[in-house]
């Protein structure tokens, strides 16, 4: 499959090649892992993707040993390759979760050649007598019907794919509220199970404390976690990632620890 990234870089997942449309650099060939990693990012564009999912898809499903160090190395190599092609900053790190790939993606549909029509596979049309009307369906009318059905099938497949993609996105991230130009999403099941009002209050506290700018369009991702410390008590951690919409700049990430309702900034 072929894709265009940010209207500038062509990516062919069949052979793992990257090349700029203005031929400013030589074609880059990605290795197997980097190629599959970029394809996963494109398939999840604009959606946070966890480390666990990447490790499973790239290594564990193939019976290979997976490690976070290996993943970090391949993400770093992919970032360098994309930056070399003129697309820096499209991969952002979300601490304690994974990564976010944000770019404009255009899918290039493969061209399908029409089968050649030869005299051998044409059905002869008997001549009509004077004043005789042909029976059945005219050849050209039949061809138009087939073309119409073909495009209806394509349209149905496209609508189905769109619906499935939106359902997939909703299952990965859940929009909780909007403030000015910011859209706020929850990115894991644990956070989605928390009280909605308390989550919104915690997000608002971080926005106020960090003076986060929502005058510009941005997607903001929130996740909550808890860990038991050595005393047997639970320490709560909040992660908020502010990602300017369609920007090459990395996301701004904030990590807070919460003890007895008091926020303590960790970043």
Please check whether residue 188 lies inside any domain of the structure.
yes
Check residue 16 and give its pLDDT.
92
Check residue 178 and give its pLDDT.
86
Please check whether residue 86 lies inside any domain of the structure.
yes
CATH number reported for the structural domain that contains residue 32 in this entry: 1.10.10.10
Please check whether residue 103 lies inside any domain of the structure.
yes
Per-residue pLDDT of the chain (267 residues; tens, 9 = 90+): 889 998 889 999 999 999 887 776 788 899 999 999 999 999 999 999 999 999 999 999 988 888 999 999 999 999 999 988 888 889 999 988 999 999 989 888 765 554 554 444 444 444 444 444 444 445 445 555 555 555 555 545 554 444 344 434 444 567 888 888 888 888 777 788 888 888 888 888 888 888 888 888 888 888 887 776 666 667 777 888 888 877 766 778 888 776 654 555 555
Please check whether residue 112 lies inside any domain of the structure.
no
Check whether residue 181 and residue 102 sit in a common domain.
no
Check residue 35 and give its pLDDT.
94
Please check whether residue 167 lies inside any domain of the structure.
no
CATH number reported for the structural domain that contains residue 189 in this entry: 3.30.565
Domain count, the chain: 2
Please check whether residue 58 lies inside any domain of the structure.
yes
Domain hosting 201: range is 174-265
Domain boundary among 53, 85, 107: 107
Check residue 179 and give its pLDDT.
85
Check residue 267 and give its pLDDT.
54
Check residue 230 and give its pLDDT.
65
Please check whether residue 129 lies inside any domain of the structure.
no
Domain boundary among 80, 107, 134: 107
Please check whether residue 114 lies inside any domain of the structure.
no
Domain boundary among 77, 107, 137: 107
Check residue 176 and give its pLDDT.
83
User: Are 7 and 106 a contacting pair, CB within 8 Å?
Assistant: yes
Cα 231 to the center of its chain, rounded Å = 41
Check residue 86 and give its pLDDT.
84
| Cα(68)–Cα(60) distance, integer angstroms | 12
Which residue is associated with the tokens 């359902």? 167
Greatest Cα-to-Cα distance within the chain, rounded to the nearest angstrom: 103
Q: Name the packing angle between helices 68-84 and 32-43 (round to 10°).
A: 80
Check residue 107 and give its pLDDT.
85
Residues ≥6 apart with Cβ < 8 Å to 2 = 10, 11, 12, 13, 14, 107, 108, 110
Check whether residue 84 and residue 180 sit in a common domain.
no
């Amino acid at each position: 499959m072929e894709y265009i990234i940010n209207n500038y870089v062509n990516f062919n997942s069949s052979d793992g090649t990257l090349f700029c449309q203005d031929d400013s650099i030589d074609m880059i060939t990605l290795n197997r892992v980097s190629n599959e990693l970029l394809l996963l990012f494109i398939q999840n564009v604009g959606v946070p993707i966890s480390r666990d999912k990447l490790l499973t898809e790239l290594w564990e499903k193939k019976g290979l040993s997976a490690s976070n160090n290996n993943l970090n190395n391949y993400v770093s190599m992919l970032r360098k390759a994309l930056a070399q092609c003129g697309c820096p900053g499209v991969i952002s790190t979300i601490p304690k979760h994974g990564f976010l790939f944000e770019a404009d993606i255009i899918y290039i549909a493969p061209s399908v050649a029409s089968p050649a029509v030869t005299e051998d596979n044409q059905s002869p049309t008997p001549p009509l007598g004077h004043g005789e009307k042909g029976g059945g369906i005219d050849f050209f009318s039949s061809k138009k019907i087939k073309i119409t059905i073909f495009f209806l099938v394509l349209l149905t497949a496209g609508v189905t794919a769109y619906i499935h993609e939106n359902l997939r996105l909703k299952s990965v991230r859940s929009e909780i509220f909007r403030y000015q130009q910011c859209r706020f999403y929850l990115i894991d099941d644990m956070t989605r199970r928390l009280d909605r009002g308390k989550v919104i209050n915690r997000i608002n506290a971080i926005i106020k404390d960090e003076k986060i700018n929502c005058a510009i369009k941005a997607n903001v991702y929130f996740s909550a976690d808890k860990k038991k410390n050595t005393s047997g008590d639970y320490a709560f951690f909040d992660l908020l990632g502010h990602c300017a919409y369609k920007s090459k700049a990395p996301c701004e990430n904030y990590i807070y620890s919460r003890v007895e309702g008091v926020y303590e900034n960790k970043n």
